[in-house]
A and B are shown apart, each in its own frame.
Chain A
């Protein structure tokens, strides 16, 4: 599904250069669910940003479904192949739940189709938030927001779902529910998932767990 070969990423901090990822290598198979853990500042979010093509590595190759990632056409790849879920949900307060979910469908065209709306309804049903369809996101609880964010990430049927601390702001019960939802998505929709988390409970739902340490991944 995806392959990272010798990925290196450095950041300048004044006169100092910080190497966050150091010749990192990773392989994820189609339909696999992996979790990446690590200390704060280890570079988990940086790795996830590279996987989401939001950040370009300073060295190494990123191959997704046999296609090497280059600087061009990243938007299309991001829109069609990758879905992302964040700890802070990043839902837009000016839109309703349904509109937030449909947002990715507007990246390449002026209006969402009936099919896409149908799909949004199905996803909401899948996530158990059908009743919130026309609610304002400002009125949702943390768990509900995470579900909306997952729906949004899945609207374009991506092959890869990236999640950055998706339960970071949730209580244990809600976190457990969300973890199960991720499992359900992986299982029933056959979506490959890469999840970055602090939580061991959350990591346990993944099929493989990697620890990011000194810029490299350790199983």
Chain B
């Protein structure tokens, strides 16, 4: 008597007996768990990979000290605090390889292994270069004078010939990158001294990488004005970038007092004229006072040399013409008339060295003919006398004028003085600090644009709160989960329905209903629990495969080299728990439904409740009204894409409710009896299974078709008119262009006269920050800003309030009370990357390193500027006055190909990357497109599951109908008639479901019917017809096999 009967035996034997149902439950559980746990693992893996990238790209760096647009003296590295830090010279450059242009970051590093002429490259660049061993590195021709100022050389770019001595691995810091982006940078590491020599920046660095956390106070203790190039003498101040930054001038004036402090501004004027006598191209210095005597109004101190050449004396008038630069060195010639206050011996001017500034390309040459200047100097006007003067006196000014008379024209964003002189100080020097130093007490490193950044903290924050792939893939795989739940519920319901008598028997035997439910529940949940670990394991496989696909086939969505699988046990447990909860809910719901029906039909003996039909009618009517109302209102007024998708989904639901009502009504007809009635009665008999088939198929078809129809179609370029603003080319310049390319003189100078006359450029200044487009998976807080005339942005669909279009207030008014700058973002970046809305504020660091609020003033349709913010050029200059070069250009031309060829040839030194506007749009749409493909793929898998459920339902229906079929045969029905009846019975609902889903999908794209494109519509129609045929023949085949 060993075979004791336990409840557990009861359960396990039933489980075995009904395994044919449970194997589907196992399959569904594994699938659902796999998608759930896999999606969570995907989130972990992407986040983990991004965080790993932060470590890879920063190495052990904890603090960055960036010099901004200026430079730091390498002497700063001798400070104890920076003993282990690395001083670098980092510049943007490019390598031209077989006609390809590879934008690279050039790192000038102090490293024993890097000798002159050698370079190390990181792995991604090595891959790009292939076997190439020698490269020419193109660099911006930086020197200490900002390239946006007037007095620079003609050459904006320079080169280095380098031999690739080796590869710098990830562990060695090869992938060093300061931006919060997951894309791997292309890095070249060169000897810092060599780089500095090539760029005329000897002894300078612009970046310090420290493995220690350095605070602002610590940096303030390290920093002195001299380290930023401020040269202090006993009674004067000059700057190695020539133009003393305005902030420094203001601080010094504030600390030292304007009385007794004299400002100097050296300038190359075009002419000093008196009647017919002219002295061409002379250095003139503007001063606030000369030898203790204020110089004001239209006073000019003329050198005796100039006075002789112009034949003028004290009290005479002379005219002076000079270039005045508007934006992008658009030059005007201005003229002022001065009264000669004194004639001063030239030697007196020579003795005051502050009157002379060392302009590169001008001051350091032997002859005027050798001047290398960006200014349009006409050498034919330079005569022997001018050469002789230059030979003897170089840049000694020929005249000195009142500072106030010219400061508005000469002083620019780069500085408002070339030197400052202080009167003898009443202060007594304190220990270690001269009176001049004491005048600079309030000057801080921020005033010189030095930024202190703790990148790891920021990077990890950006990586951890970036795109949530767990939610994304849960959403993308939602239909698979739904289908798996339906696949789970279908056999369970079928089995429980079949076992109604068993349940009834249990009740008759004295089992409480709760116990009967419990038996069934334990029996089924055991199967689910047994399957669940396999589901979790399948989830690991799912996430592994998906990560591989994201790094390869679907790399368009992420633009990465792939992700590493990160398996966190807690995530697996979370996925398992959620999956088990879903199983519990599905099982509980199914058992409840079966028992509720059992109670109604068998225990109470009461027929179907007529009130439930009335309720269904009301619900259907409600849904119909809601759906119709929403569709019409959206079509006529709202035009919201999201609402159209909701409306499409509502249509699918509404048709489902209608189907339910219709079947009940047709089956309940009392009049007449026909084949049709027979079919509807049979459908009604297995109404629940048919409704399950409807929901699975219709929602699957809706998902797949709605996504498919929403895929962008590039066959018609006209639809991208607004996205491109009508421009054909998008140009990025690695070296900032300091010219207005719409200016004919500039075109002549740059050999661009061959451009078609219709060619029009739109210039953008750029403050490089993080990429906020869908290409960046990190959380972006401050996107890259492009400065442009906002009026031009109307072509891109940006609607700017009138007050924002007006020109910014004058500099003086601005300085007094600046209103927050505004920026504008494309809708997708605003919504998904920044998760902000119009009116919110972003915090940027301005050119001085100070945090400034920038208000999001509006948005515009996503297009060519996706991922970058747009700002009015005046606001841009106010925040980042020294970032004045054009780095982005849009071009419109009657012959864009010819224009592109000419641009790349003429501006080859600038490292132009030229894309057609359509290519750029495609690049962004590729991300959306890839996500849609992923959604489509997963939706398709879900639909396959739905079809599988349908097959199960049809087979079970047919099996259940075998007695009926035998009866038909016994009654003389022909085989073909029987098959026809069964075909109608099993085909009506699936075809109706497919049609309802497809109609819902068409409604969901109403917002963008034109955007769907003919090809997409054609493919969808063919797909729909093929799908219907597939269902038709599939069901026919099942019927044939089953009966």
Chain A positions within 8 Å of B, measured between CB atoms, are 11-14, 46, 52, 54-55, 75-80, 82, 84, 90, 92-95, 98-99, 102-108, 110-112, 114, 117-118, 121, 134, 152, 156
Q: In the complex the two chains form, what is the Cα distance from A111 to B507 in whole Å?
A: 18
A54 interface neighbour in B515, B603, B607, Cβ under 8 Å? B603
Q: Which residues of B contact A134 (CB under 8 A)?
A: 3
CB <8 Å contact, A114 and B13 = no
User: Within the complex, what minimum Cβ distance (angstroms) separates A145 from chain B?
Assistant: 13
Please name 16 pairs of A and B residues whose Cβ atoms are closer than 8 Å in the assembled complex, sorted by A: A12-B606, A12-B607, A46-B605, A54-B508, A79-B511, A84-B509, A90-B505, A93-B17, A98-B3, A104-B510, A105-B5, A106-B5, A106-B7, A106-B511, A108-B510, A111-B5
Extra 11 A-B pairs, beta carbons < 8 Å, given A12-B606, A90-B502, A99-B10: A76-B510, A79-B510, A90-B504, A90-B508, A92-B14, A93-B17, A95-B10, A98-B3, A104-B509, A106-B10, A111-B4
Q: Find the B residue at minimum CB distance from A90.
A: B505
Do A112 and B505 have beta carbons less than 8 Å apart? no
B55 CB, min distance to chain A CBs, angstroms: 56
Please determine whether B501 and A94 come into contact, CB atoms closer than 8 angstroms: no
Within 8 A of A (CB), among B502-524: 502, 504-512, 515
- B507 CB contacts on chain A under 8 angstroms: 54, 75, 78
B511/A107 in contact, CB under 8 A: yes
B570 contacts the other chain (CB 8 A): no
A110 nearest CB neighbor, chain B only: B7
Whether the pair B606, A118 counts as a contact (CB closer than 8 A) is: no
Confirm or deny: B9 has a beta carbon within 8 angstroms of a beta carbon on chain A.
yes
Beta-carbon contact of A95 and B509 below 8 Å: no
With both chains docked as a complex, state the minimum distance between the C-beta of A7 and any C-beta of chain B, in angstroms: 14
Q: Does any Cβ of A come within 8 Å of B20's Cβ?
A: no
A112 touches which of B5, B502, B509 (Cβ 8 Å): B5
Q: Would A99 and B9 count as touching, CB distance under 8 A?
A: yes
Interface centre among A12, A46, A80, A121 (most CB of B within 10 A): A12
Q: Is B6 an interface residue (CB 8 A)?
A: yes
Chain B 1-23 interface residues, beta-carbon cutoff 8 Å to A: 1, 3-10, 13-14, 16-18
Q: Is the CB of B605 within 8 A of A55?
A: yes
Bound form: Cα–Cα A84–B506 in Å: 11
Complex Cα distance, B8 from A76, in Å, reads: 21
Complex Cα spacing A107 to B518, Å? 12
Residue pair B17, A14 in contact (C-beta under 8 Å): no
Closest residue of chain A to B10 (Cβ to Cβ) is A106
CA distance A12 to B600 in the complex (A): 12
Distance of A148 from chain B, by nearest CB (Å):
13
On whether A94 and B14 interact (CB within 8 A), knowing A84-B508, A103-B509, A107-B510, the answer reads: yes
Contact of B17 among A82, A94, A111, A121 (CB under 8 A): A94
Complex: chain A residue closest to B4, CB-CB: A111
Instruction: Pick from A75, A78, A110 the residue with the most CB of B within 10 Å.
Output: A75
Query: Which parts of B418-447 form the interface with A (CB within 8 Å)?
Result: none
Docked CA distance A106–B511 (Å): 8
Residues of B within 8 A of A111 (CB): 4-7
- Residues of A close to B506: CB separation below 8 A: 103, 107
CB distance from B498 to the nearest CB of A (A): 11
B16 partner residues in chain A, CB cutoff 8 A: 94
Residue numbers in A under 8 Å from B5 (CB-CB): 98-99, 102-103, 105-106, 111-112, 117
Give A102 to B14 CA distance when docked, in angstroms. Answer: 15
B510 adjacent to A112 (CB under 8 Å): no
Q: Is the CB of B18 within 8 A of A11?
A: no
* Nearest residue, chain B, Cβ from A14: B607
User: Closest A-chain residue to B516, C-beta based?
Assistant: A107
The verdict on A95 contacting B605 (CB below 8 Å), with A80-B510, A111-B5, A111-B6 known, is: no
Which of B3, B7, B515, B605 touches A11 (beta carbons < 8 Å)? B605
- A79–B8 touching, CB < 8 Å: no
- Establish whether residues A55 and B4, one from each chain, have CB atoms under 8 Å apart when the complex forms: no
Chain A hits for B10, CB < 8 A: 95, 99, 103, 106
Please judge, given known A-B contacts A12-B606, A106-B7, A107-B515, whether A92 and B510 are in contact too, CB under 8 Å.
no
CA distance A11 to B509 in the complex (A): 25
Contact B603 A55 (CB under 8 A): yes
Asked if B13 and A110 sit within 8 Å, CB to CB, the answer is no
A118:B510 contact, CB within 8 angstroms:
no
> B701 to chain A: closest CB distance in Å?
38
Which residue of the partner chain B has the closest CB to A91?
B505
Question: What residues on B are CB-neighbors of A103 within 8 Å?
Answer: 5, 10, 505-506, 509
Q: A11-B605, A14-B607, A55-B603 are in contact. Are A78 and B509 (CB under 8 A)?
A: yes
Q: Give, as a whole number of angstroms, the nearest-CB distance from A139 to chain B.
A: 14
Contacting residues, chain B, for A93 (C-beta < 8 A): 17
Q: Do A95 and B508 touch (CB < 8 A)? A: no
List B contacts of A102 (CB < 8 A).
Answer: 5
**Contact (A117, B505) CB under 8 Å given A13-B607, A54-B603, A110-B7:** no
Q: Interface 1/0s, chain B 577-589, versus A by CB < 8 A?
A: 0000000000000
Minimum distance in angstroms from A42 CB to a CB of chain B: 16
- B211–chain A nearest beta-carbon distance, Å: 66
Contact call B1/A118, Cβ cutoff below 8 A? yes
Complex interface residues of chain B between 760 and 778 (CB less than 8 A to chain A): none
Alpha-carbon separation in the docked complex, A82 to B9 (Å): 25
Contact across chains for B511 and A117 when beta carbons are under 8 A apart: no
Asked if B607 and A92 sit within 8 Å, CB to CB, the answer is: no
Give A114 to B4 CA distance when docked, in angstroms. 7
Give the complex CA separation of A107 and B606 in angstroms. 27
Contact with A along B600-611 (1 / 0, CB 8 A): 000101110000
Q: CA separation between A18 and B1028, bound complex, in Å?
A: 47
Contact present for B509 and A79 (CB under 8 Å): yes
Is B510 within 8 A of A11, CB to CB? Answer: no
In the complex formed, the residue of B with least CB distance to A158 is B510
CB distance from A74 to the nearest CB of B (A): 9
Given A95-B13, A98-B5, A111-B5; A90-B510 close (CB under 8 Å): no
Contacts of A92 in B (CB 8 A): 14, 502, 505
Residues in B with CB closer than 8 Å to A52 are: 508
List residues of B (486-544) whose CB comes within 8 Å of A's CBs. Answer: 501-502, 504-512, 515
A107 surroundings in chain B (CB, below 8 A)? 506, 509-512, 515
Query: In the complex, are the beta carbons of A94 and B606 less than 8 A apart?
Result: no
In the complex, which residues of chain B have a beta carbon less than 8 angstroms from the beta carbon of A54?
507-508, 603
Minimum Cβ distance to chain B for residue A15 (Å):
9
B607 CB → nearest A CB, Å? 6
Nearest residue in A to B9 (C-beta to C-beta)?
Answer: A99
Q: Compute how far the CA of A79 lies from the CA of B515 in the bound complex, rounded to whole angstroms.
A: 13
B21 CB → nearest A CB, Å: 12
Q: Mark B864-885, 1 if CB is under 8 A from A, else 0.
A: 0000000000000000000000
In the complex formed, the residue of B with least CB distance to A95 is B13
Q: How far is the CB of A188 from chain B (nearest CB, A)?
A: 23
CB neighbours (8 Å) of B607 from chain A are 11-14
Nearest first, the 4 closest Cβ-Cβ pairs linking A and B are: A79-B510, A94-B17, A78-B510, A107-B510
**Residues of B close to A104: CB separation below 8 A:** 509-510
Chain B residues, CB < 8 A from A12 = 606-607
Contacts A79-B509, A90-B501, A94-B18; A11 near B8 (Cβ below 8 A): no
Contacts of A75 in B (CB 8 A): 507, 510-512
Chain A residues near B509: list those with CB within 8 A: 78-79, 84, 103-104, 107, 152
Q: Give the interface centre of B5, B18, B515, B607 by most chain A CB atoms within 10 Å.
A: B5
With CB as the reference atom, state the residue of chain A lying closest to B13: A94
Residues of B within 8 A of A114 (CB): 1, 4
Contacts of A152 in B (CB 8 A): 509
Q: How far is the CA of A56 from the CA of B5 in the complex (A)?
A: 32
Please report which residues of chain B, range 282-318, place their CB below 8 angstroms from some CB of chain A when the two chains form the complex: none
Q: How far is the CA of A102 from the CA of B9 in the complex (A)?
A: 12
Give B6's nearest chain A residue, CB to CB: A111
- For B14, the closest partner residue in chain A by CB is A94
How far, in Å, is A111 (CB) from chain B's closest CB? 4
Report Cα–Cα, A121/B3, bound state, in Å: 12
Contact B8 A110 (CB under 8 A): yes
Closest to B511 in A: A107
